[in-house]
Amino acid sequence: MPVFDGVMRGVNGGGAISVMTRRSYKHFYLVLNELFETHGTDPGAAAMATRDDALNHRLQLLLLHECAAVLAGRYFAAKHPRSKNPARLFVTNWLDRTSVRELLEWSHAEAARRPPARSVSKKRQKYAGGLTVK
């Protein structure tokens, strides 16, 4: 798993966050399967309950890395909305210039953001509230 694969997945994730997470999870579970194969454990639901602490720790690290990388990619996409399929060098240079604090602030805002208020058409306002609309 190259270092920036997760970031690039986030960058190229398009508009729907579900698409990017499905891709990243597919990748995550591929790695998971590899790990279980290495450890001789069947990669199924039962295997998730493994008591191998070192394995669990590594899986947790993979998940955290994937989440942070994808978030960084999504932040890049938000900052450069017109940059489609950017060169990896451009993204890595941006990663060098951008601080963790910036990503934390953006991520926090995204997680806390209120859904946009629903706009109500003048026609609906008129019928709902008996308002006079010109």
Q: Is 27 in the site for another protein (CB under 8 A)?
A: no
Closer residue to another protein (CB): 2 or 44:
2
| One of 8, 32, 69, 77 touching another protein (CB under 8 A) | 69
C-beta of 16: minimal distance to another protein in Å? 5
Which residues, 6 or more positions from 92, have their beta carbon under 8 angstroms from its beta carbon?
4
Q: Judged by CB under 8 A, which stretch of 16-24, 38-46, 81-89, 124-132 contacts another protein?
A: 16-24
Contact 14, 74 (CB under 8 A): no
Return all residues near 63 (Cβ < 8 A) that are at least 6 apart. 28
> 100 near 43, Cβ under 8 Å?
no
CB 13 within 8 A of CB 20: yes
Contacts with another protein, residue ranges (CB under 8 A): 1, 3-4, 7, 16-18, 21-22, 25, 53-54, 57-58, 61-65, 67-72, 92, 95-101, 103-104, 107-108, 110-111, 113, 115-116
